Structure 1
């Protein structure tokens, strides 16, 4: 029986939910001691919701740490092969490209040939590194995408999944390279025309500077616009131009955010690379002073093998870390944009065997 004037006690709370917040489940309904919605499911390296900058970086590092055998196996193999090819090119083909830069007796023609040969050497070495990076990116994209689901992938499995798309990935690199070079050519064309019509040196210099600046800004915009194309090509089995279109769609409206994250990643990877490479370069100079001969001693003829090998070891270590880091950040940016635009988290949750994912609101972290 209830005593007169006594207020009956409130009914017991529903199982597992606690006392409902004031105002029910509408606006502000997660306040009042609830502590926010349930955390998003995290079957692998990232929670299945829109990601913040820190979570993207942490996810890339977590992939390297959790699946280090596969990740470092791929990156180390690629880095060693690329460095061996580079070593042979530097040792036998482009060894003397810097010879004579410090020689005041050089003629203009000799200096021009030296500069041209050195540029060609850098271009060839850069192309070798780019192809190696492309190959590693293809395999590491597969590893990272499976790490999101908490699944490990062996090197053989990564190769099997990536192999059908590697030729298309090379085609994508070729198309983008031609596009960027075309933009640069258009940028310098006015300066070249002014120079060809006997324009003043000042006019040529100003026109070239403005043209190069404008071309650089356009290339930068295009690089970010198509930065997610490799991931779309590998993970969606798209063709070259369809993957470029997918990247355009995913980047649209988020250009500055993606640019900022990629700039931060570039700064971090360059710092890490410098930390690993510089000590080996210094050691190479200390152990073999002839390694600096082409800059400080123009009368000498070749870079020594010991200098090339010691500095090459540092390059291998740097590539072993930066290759998977860059690949991981790019893949996670692609996944994050698809979660934000296309609710990919629901598909990923189903693939990971998670039930009832997405029934409650998930906060979007800043960044």
Structure 2
């Protein structure tokens, strides 16, 4: 489904004022999917995000789990390969005679050997973030008109729009974070130099106020560009055009977009903590008896190991499940904000109603007869 264009008012019918009161003769707004097709209130956006997560849990969670699993395997493989290659450097640092300190050159060489793995980790995290940023608008496209979807369809959709969404993520990071990086690049060397009185000590006084003064600008920019992934997925635009389009949509409603996004992030954090808490309690319950016995000197080493393993598994499972909601829910909220702004500014509701009606017609149409049956009838 594309959100590029939409039909005008139906011939012979009044143009309903979406979002206002509904006195006769206007009926309530249609709701073929997770939201009513009129300009949305904050509660409708949050409810729509919850409904989207619940109704489309299989493709949504499936794609996110697949993305995270692939990323984790790539990073672990890179770290394992690095450790295998640098075994001699580990020995030079940790297998030392008593009283001998490690050489600084060996420490630096070991650190530098892990730099490629660190760069790969950054790349993988960025790609995973871009995939999730592409996934949620793709799910919302189907959710607002009530169409079903599958893991394969969502994976294909995300992969096809990944370059554009990745471009919006990278460009937003550079635009928002670039001035901070420049500030750190200038001030950190000056602070290091001032530690031995060879540089200006005022660098630290410049860095801290500079960060705090730039923080409102960073929030303003992040909010202006927050809808760019949804634009890239729903309208098929490139990275730069998506950023410009997001800025135009947010224009005139920055505080509303910022407030709803903030509420969505707070809700995601609270629900994510509630998901993770029982797993943490289970892990602590399994670990506490073994650790108590160990502190008293009569603990069984195997029992302690089992307790530690159960605790680690419980915390890991809780963290993964909570992360799925904490990453997905804010993106769903942003995608619904995009839909809301287009319904407010561009009468997208009419196009969505037509799309939902067409989808319902296709779904309700009778299945064609099998070829063999048709041939028998003709004979």
Category of TM-score, reference length = shorter chain = 0.5 to 0.7
Map 1:28-47 → 2, pairs under 5 A? 34=23, 37-47=26-36
Shift in alpha-carbon separation, 1:48–1:323, aligned structure 2, 3 A? same
Structure 2 gap segments, 5+ residues each: 1-20, 84-100, 292-307, 359-379
Query: Larger relative CO (CA 8 A, sep 6+): 1 or 2?
Result: 1
Matching of residue 178 in structure 1 with residue 167 in structure 2 = no
Matching of residue 328 in structure 1 with residue 332 in structure 2 = yes
Partner of 1:103: none
Structure 1 gap segments, 5+ residues each: 1-29, 95-105, 293-303, 355-367
Partner of 1:50: 39
Which of the numbers 320, 323, 343 marks the counterpart of 1:339? 343
Shift in alpha-carbon separation, 1:123–1:39, aligned structure 2, 3 A? farther
What's the TM-score, normalizing by structure 1?
0.68
Which of the numbers 163, 166, 169 marks the counterpart of 2:162? 166
CA distance in 2: counterparts of 1:36 and 1:66, whole angstroms: 32
CA distance in 1: counterparts of 2:311 and 2:71, whole angstroms: 17
Q: CA RMSD in A?
A: 4.2
- Cα offset for 1:219? 1.8
- Cα offset for 1:87? 6.7
Partner of 1:64: 53
Aligned length: 303
Shift in alpha-carbon separation, 1:81–1:237, aligned structure 2, 3 A? same
Partner of 1:225: 224
Map 1:75-224 → 2, pairs under 5 A? 75-82=64-71, 128-188=124-184, 191-192=187-188, 195=191, 198=198, 201=201, 203-224=202-223
Residues 133-181 of structure 1: CA deviation (Å, up to 9, x unaligned): 3213323321211111111111222233333211222222222222233
What's the TM-score, normalizing by structure 2?
0.66
- Cα offset for 1:91? 8.7
CA distance in 2: counterparts of 1:83 and 1:288, whole angstroms: 26
Contact 1:134 1:169 in 2 (8 A): yes
More helix by share: 2
Map 1:351-362 → 2, pairs under 5 A? 351-353=355-357
